[in-house]
Amino acid sequence: MDILATLFPSAFPALALSHFVALLSPGPDFFLLVGYAIRYRLRGSVGLCLGIAAGNGLYILLAIIGWGILRQAPLLFTAIELLGAAYLLWIGSLLLRSRPATLALHGALASRPPLVKQLFLGLGSSLLNPKNALFYLALMTSLLGPNVTLVQQAVSGAWMTSVVLIWDLLLVTLIALPSVQRRLSAVVWRVERTAGGVLMAFGCWIVWQFLHEFAVRLYA
């Protein structure tokens, strides 16, 4: 029990539950994964999972070391958010260009993006969403409280990063199942276009919020 108390903070169950519930809410990372996994299967999207997990892990690390820059520098937050919007619009436009085609294993293997590209796509999707930083900052400070130790923060951070990776891998593994692929074969381009449209909607929403807040401040 002493070892568990040393490794895990008293608020760990609340932190783990809050984090998992947040994962269940589809966001840009989810639709990016779906758009790639449906065509390129596990091997063509495992790098995305690693990149997204790495981005989450980096924000958790920054939260652990007390990084409060985003809360103290609204201009930096806005800049990262707008970069994220542009990134979502770009990725979404690529998926929107999907054309009707029947899925074929050899075709997916031949055309799947290289691992390095997958890694950077996943990392970019995660890092260019500054709300991830604020979310983890809130979890690591508000939930864990001021008495949490560095070891407990590190264990909690490692747990959340691992859960992100495992959850994403389970998602793309499910999509890559032959039975699922057979059902999706005829509608893969529609799913990709839908995912692309959702990503672009996220991007447009971010831009609209920025323009709205700018107009309010301008005419206040």
| Owning domain of residue 133 | 8-219
- Give pLDDT tens digits along the chain (220 positions): 578 878 888 888 888 888 887 787 667 888 788 878 877 888 888 999 999 999 999 988 887 776 555 556 677 767 766 776 787 788 778 777 766 554 444 444 446 778 898 899 889 888 887 677 777 877 776 667 667 788 888 899 999 999 999 999 998 898 888 777 777 666 666 767 777 787 788 778 878 888 888 888 877 6
Can you give the pLDDT at residue 57?
A: 93
Q: Is residue 119 part of a domain?
A: yes
What is the value of pTM for the model shown? 0.73
Say if 87 falls within a structural domain: yes
Q: Is residue 115 part of a domain?
A: yes
Residue 47, domain member (yes or no): yes
Number of domains in the chain: 1
Is the residue at 1 inside a domain? Answer: no
Q: In the prediction, which pLDDT does 68 show?
A: 53
Task: Count CA atoms closer than 13 A to 131's CA, side-chain side.
Answer: 11
Has residue 16 been placed in a domain?
Answer: yes
- Domain assignment of residue 93, yes or no: yes
Q: Is residue 165 part of a domain?
A: yes
CB distance 196 to 90 below 8 Å: no
Tokens of 192: 């990709």
Q: With contact defined as beta carbons under 8 Å apart, do 48 and 118 qualify?
A: yes
12, 156 in Cβ contact below 8 A?
yes
